[in-house]
Structure 1
Amino acid sequence: MAQHGLPALFTLFLWWFSTGLILYLDGLRRETFRWTMLGASTLLLGGLTGLHALAWDTGVAAAWLGFVCGVLCWAWIEVAFLTGMVTGPRRSACPAGARGWVRFRAALAAILWHELAILALAALIVALTWGAPNRIGTWTFLAFWAMRQSAKLNLYLGVRNLAEEFLPDHLRHLESFFARRRMNLLFPVSVVAGVTACALLSLAALDPGATPHQAVGFTLLATLVALGLLEHVFMVMPIPADILWRWGLASRAPAARPARPATSWGAPS
């Protein structure tokens, strides 16, 4: 229980609470964002310092703390994006009727600085833990990255549930890059890849020869990937995606959201 049950429950709680907290902070008045970013940047510095300090520690506590440090680093990415501090050079909606390469370039321009920030931070984390035995935090950050990239691409290609309610008002233009479809060709690939990763991590965690550090670390990672799969399932289910985080969305002023105009690439099918 201590090596598997507790890490799984901890990951579930941290995923749920941290997501809700970020949504709550990003729903506050924009003049609060500088303080939110200051706090997130302080936690990022702590996370990076912790990853480096724990890199050669293979104790059980180092697995827990390394995971938390990886989450703190990814939290900065989410906060920087949702506050609008780090998004992209394009701050307007997708051109009407845009298709193919034109639409892709516009979508990439809307999140370019965000993607480059992830690349830079991932490179720094890998460098800080290069060759070290404890890379639970590194794999945590990379798992978040893989799951979020998959989610972005599926939203771009088209899914049933777009979860637009998670976007704050200052990022509403990003809705124009989403497509509403029942399914896209990437979605089954994303699910199969996620299930495979989750299964492999679970087998590693349950391996009789695994050390306590490995058992805890791989359980944390397996649970995180499973929750990423759950987020993907929400994309194709006819249920509101915000059902788990309505408390986090409570900071946003109630307002009727205008319907997004249907387009040929984003129309329901």
Structure 2
Amino acid sequence: MTQHVYPVLYVLLLWWFSTGLILYLNGLPRWTFKWTLIGASFFLFLGFVCLYASRDDLRITGAYLGFTGALLIWAWQEVAFVLGAVTGSRRQPLPAGARGWRRVVLAWRTVWHHELALLLLGAGVLLITWGAPNPSGWWTYGVLYVMRQSAKINLFLGVRNLAESFLPPHLAYLQSYFRRGGNRFMHGSLLLGGLGAVALWWQALHPGTGPFEASSYTFAAMLLTLAVLEHLFMVLPIPSDGLWAWGLRSRTGGDESG
């Protein structure tokens, strides 16, 4: 069971700690942002190194390295976005009365640089892992990408909990592009995400699955399970910011120029 229990704990720890750390760094004075981005860029490089080093490794350590490498790559775009370094060409609130395709186009302009970065990083992950026997890195990035796109669409269409407390002051204008309410797309997101997680857990726990495959499937299954949980946070009356209260404590004075 170690190929299941340890990956689950590892994913939970990184999910909780990395989210809180990004929130904490993003709440520091603005003059620190360049150093945060430089540090994140170092870990981006390290992530690609981990992917390359593990692409042919079919030991359990290979599953850990592949997962960790993809997560470090993903973390760079998270940091770049919340710092405001890679967002979009539009940085103003949605004009009053904007609806339909105009709202779609304006919303796209606020994040299209970020979307391009996601695709470029994903292409790098795919290039390194293409044809390699260890798919852990690509599975990790793929799950994160698909579920992040789902979350963005749902925020745009309408959800109950917008998690405004997670947005820093310099990205507060993004709230105007969100909608509070319900939407049918969320039903499909939860259904397909849940079915995908069940399928991955079934593969991970199948008696005929080897140690490496069990670890790889467990990483992907747990990550997808947490992504579905984050979707549930959007629709249930359950505040999630308490999980990362320690990361939000740095918000006081975070806009000082230093």
Tell me if both proteins adopt one fold, taking TM over 0.5 as the criterion: yes
CA deviation string 1:17-59 (max 9, x = no partner):
1000001001111110111111111001010111012101111
| Unaligned runs of at least 5 residues, structure 1 | 256-269
For residues 4-15 of structure 1, the aligned pairs below 5 Å read 4-15=4-15
Q: Residue in 2 aligned with 1:126?
A: 126
The question of whether the paired residues in 1 share the 8 Å contact of 2:154 and 2:185 is answered with yes
Letter in 1 for 2:187: P
Q: Residue in 2 aligned with 1:248?
A: 247
The question of whether the paired residues in 1 share the 8 Å contact of 2:201 and 2:218 is answered with yes
Aligned alpha-carbon RMSD (Å): 1.1
Cα distance in 1, alignment partners of residues 237 and 74 from structure 2: 29
Cα distance in 1, alignment partners of residues 186 and 36 from structure 2: 34
Letter in 1 for 2:99: R
Q: Residue in 1 aligned with 2:233?
A: 234
Q: Percent identity?
A: 52
Letter in 1 for 2:46: G
Letter in 1 for 2:157: L
What's the offset of the Cα at 1:10? 1.2
Cα distance in 2, alignment partners of residues 36 and 128 from structure 1: 26
CA deviation string 1:125-163 (max 9, x = no partner):
101110001010111111111111111110000000000
Cα distance in 2, alignment partners of residues 234 and 50 from structure 1: 32
The question of whether the paired residues in 2 share the 8 Å contact of 1:161 and 1:241 is answered with no
Letter in 2 for 1:230: L
What's the offset of the Cα at 1:254? 7.6
What's the offset of the Cα at 1:16? 0.5
Cα distance in 1, alignment partners of residues 10 and 124 from structure 2: 26
Q: Residue in 2 aligned with 1:56?
A: 56
Runs ≥4 residues deviating over 2 A: none
Q: Residue in 2 aligned with 1:267?
A: none
TM-score (norm 2): 0.96
CA deviation string 1:176-212 (max 9, x = no partner):
000000x201001000111111011111111222121
CA deviation string 1:51-97 (max 9, x = no partner):
01210111110101111111101100100000000000001001111
Cα distance in 1, alignment partners of residues 58 and 6 from structure 2: 18
For residues 28-107 of structure 1, the aligned pairs below 5 Å read 28-107=28-107
Secondary structure at the aligned position of 1:4 is classed as helix
Q: Residue in 1 aligned with 2:163?
A: 163
Cα distance in 2, alignment partners of residues 212 and 242 from structure 1: 36
Between structures 1 and 2, the one with greater helix share: 2
Q: Residue in 2 aligned with 1:185?
A: 184
Letter in 2 for 1:5: V
Q: Residue in 1 aligned with 2:208?
A: 209
Letter in 2 for 1:240: P
Q: Residue in 2 aligned with 1:220?
A: 219
Cα distance in 1, alignment partners of residues 127 and 119 from structure 2: 12
